[in-house]
Structure 1
Amino acid sequence: MQKKDNYANRIVIAIDVLDEVIKYSGWMESSPIKLMDYVDKCLALGFFRFLCTDISKDGKLGGAAIELYQKLLEHSPMIKLIASGGVSSMDDIYELAKYPIRSVVVGKAIYEDRITIEQIKEWNLKALSSI
């Protein structure tokens, strides 16, 4: 007997956001659907994993969009959230870890040696040992 697969558990809905407005087409177009309404629609369809990129912070190393993620999680505490945009140091990761955020995207901070792979490896090992 084959186990039925839950594809909603494998799909991540990516949302690029500027001031809570969903942007698409290379961030040039704005969606008329409000961010929280979109999340609600996705939840109603059975999707609960989201990658949210605050494009006002993406690639700028200015810190993560903590307030945006807090608002999303307060609105829909059941979502599995991946935070993206603005991470500049391990301090940003420590701050994000205070919230029920599942993962964080780290890019430019690694490329510019503000966070090392060794620091991330250490962080991951500590997280695994606390399970």
Structure 2
Amino acid sequence: MGPGRARWPAIFKVGKVASGNAWLLAQHSDDDTVFQLRVLRLITPLAGRGEVDRQSYALLYDRVMLPLVGKQRYDTQFTCDAKGWRPEPLENESELAELRQEAGLDPIAARAAQLIAQYGSECPG
């Protein structure tokens, strides 16, 4: 790689904890979408090779793409309103179960139940 080219702390180089901590910084940098998008571009090829946690990749993908294009792929982003917890719009609902399984995510029904168990079925007013 040439000088100045960005690199990501892949699991095999720095370990799962350090790589995960770097991902946490990106995942929660919602005020810097450009940074999040740069990270997403860095980790996309790494996720396919197992050098980045697949679940982390899916979460960041949805977090970045939802505000940019209005849809998510893995159904990791939910909203809560008068109707209760519901997922944000999807790219392709027919592929959701397979995509979530490939990413190591629980089935969507299990995730919805987790949200309700963790936060309650009533949304903050």
For Structure 1 versus Structure 2, the TM-score category normalised by the shorter chain is 0.3 to 0.5
Compute the TM-score of the two structures, normalised by the length of structure 2: 0.34
Q: Report which structure shows greater RCO (CA 8 Å, sep ≥6).
A: 1
The structure richer in helix per residue is 2
The structure richer in strand per residue is 1
